[in-house]
Amino acid sequence: MSSSPEPTALTDPVSYLCLSKFNRRLRRCPRTNLPVTFSDIGDSVGIPLLYLLPSGCSRWIGASLDPLAAKFGVRMIIIDRPGCGGTGQVPLGERIERSCEMAVSVLESLMIKPAHILASSAGIYYALYLLIHHPSAFRTSLKPPPRLYLIAPWVPMLPMDHPESWPFKWDWIPTPFIAIQHITIPHLLKAAEQAQKAYDRGLKAIDTSRSFVMKMYKSFAEASSSASYPSAQATTAPSMSSAPYEQTSVKPGMKESVLEILNNTMGVGMEEDTQVQVPQSEGEGDKQEGYWGSTPCCVTCLVSGYMQAENGQGIGQEHLVCLNRGPRDTGAVWLQTALSDLAATIQFAQGSLSPASSAEKLASNSLQTDQANEADESGAGGHVNGVKDPLEMHVWWGWMDDMVVRKGQLYFNQLVGRYSGVIDLFVHDVPDGDHSDLMSRPEGIYHCFELIRSEEDSTTSSREL
């Protein structure tokens, strides 16, 4: 008796997203004593890749990458960070450390040691911390280090008085609002949906009224003509365009605004030009056809609904980390220190730095404050002793990114460039890319998967020789 084929996003999106690969669970992380939920998607026997999520930090963000990862022979491990999905919540000040401990425990439970790390946006915090504090979780530890792929990484903002600082449009949002956004945003989305429905009904009412007025005007005009009043020929009829009402009388952008809110809910991982379908009320229009098949809505809306149904408290914490509003520094000094610590750790692991020098360097980095900014302004600092196997860091920047503007991108490139020979930076610029679309574009995630596959092929060939 043949078994039925596994559902896909095209044939049965609901059953597809219910597959166990999207809903894995580690009942208790031995390091934190908390449950951890994750997904294990793509090619089940492919190249292991740890994907460190952006600030949305829900495994559902990466769900749409499943078929693409399978095509490239990549096995993606995507872990809900604390306070998202079924992963336990942790204090804000411990978020980075505990999240990385959970990631290590998940990898151990799967008995895999990846040689590749992918991080987008806020995932850079966790990528750097893992490499510094948990290098043994990866295939060859730091000899050589795993490859690091950063797609539109977050760059902590510099102080406003710093000569290289750049503006950030969301910095004005109060901390209390960010902390409870998991409560407020779902209500805003529901309000947006209701507003869209009310707007659509309003358009129908206006169209009906317009038709009625047109009929009345036609009858009135005919009656006036037959009466042959002297003024009838000179009377100018009211101007009424033959174009649909919404094209002539609706304020530009009104109808699209709500759709834009909904479309941006799951911008990461969507194909270019994919539109979120707004569900219709009963009795409105014909039978619905989703973009991925005969479903109540498209796969993107299903995933968005799952994210809203699950715990999302950690998302607010994530944004507080990015904005450096927690009890511990996660701003520009954190990034400077983390890169310096990572370089020192790699040097020590490969014998280019003595234990005493390494310990001294790490200790001094933990105390850096104003000195870090002074070194940045002068261009001083960084390591000069290269290593045999430097860490390869690939970064993709979209020049249209309004979260990390071009000035911030260039600052990051310059900062990492100081450690050339220990951390080798490869920059991939996408002039028309933004902060989220690179995770669904050939110039972004496709290119990343190609690099992973080609590197694995070359590594396998060298081993055989």
What structural domains and CATH numbers belong to the chain? 13-171+316-464 (3.40.50.1820)
User: What pLDDT sits at residue 167?
Assistant: 81
What gap in Å lies between CA 36 and CA 230, rounded to an integer?
85
The position carrying tokens 């005009």 is: 221
User: What pLDDT sits at residue 188?
Assistant: 45
Average pLDDT over residues 272-282: 38
pLDDT for 340-363, tens place per residue? 999 999 999 998 776 655 556 555
Residue with more model confidence, 129 or 195: 129
Cβ contact 127:52 at 8 Å:
yes
Residue with more model confidence, 393 or 162: 393
DSSP state of 402: S
User: What pLDDT sits at residue 118?
Assistant: 99
What gap in Å lies between CA 380 and CA 394, rounded to an integer?
24
**Arithmetic mean of pLDDT over the chain:** 77
pTM beyond 0.75, yes or no: no
Cβ contact 32:52 at 8 Å:
no
What gap in Å lies between CA 435 and CA 419, rounded to an integer?
25
Average pLDDT over residues 252-274: 38
Residue with more model confidence, 282 or 80: 80
Kindly give, in sequence order, each residue whose CB lies less than 8 Å from that of residue 27, ignoring residues fewer than 6 positions away.
Answer: 35
Kindly give, in sequence order, each residue whose CB lies less than 8 Å from that of residue 462, ignoring residues fewer than 6 positions away.
Answer: none
Q: Map residue 426 onto helix, strand or coil.
A: strand
pLDDT for 213-227, tens place per residue? 455 445 444 444 444
- Beginning with the edge strand found earlier in the chain, give each strand of the sheet holding 36-42 in spatial order: 24-26, 36-42, 74-79, 47-52, 116-121, 147-153, 391-398, 423-430
Residue 88 in tokens: 């336990």
User: What pLDDT sits at residue 88?
Assistant: 96
Q: Prior bond to 144 cis, omega within 30? A: yes
Residue 216 in tokens: 């009345």
What gap in Å lies between CA 357 and CA 345, rounded to an integer?
11
The position carrying tokens 């996660």 is: 330
Average pLDDT over residues 240-265: 36
What gap in Å lies between CA 405 and CA 60, rounded to an integer?
27
Nearest to 41 by CA among 51, 27, 54, 56: 51
Cβ contact 178:171 at 8 Å:
no
Cβ contact 345:358 at 8 Å:
yes
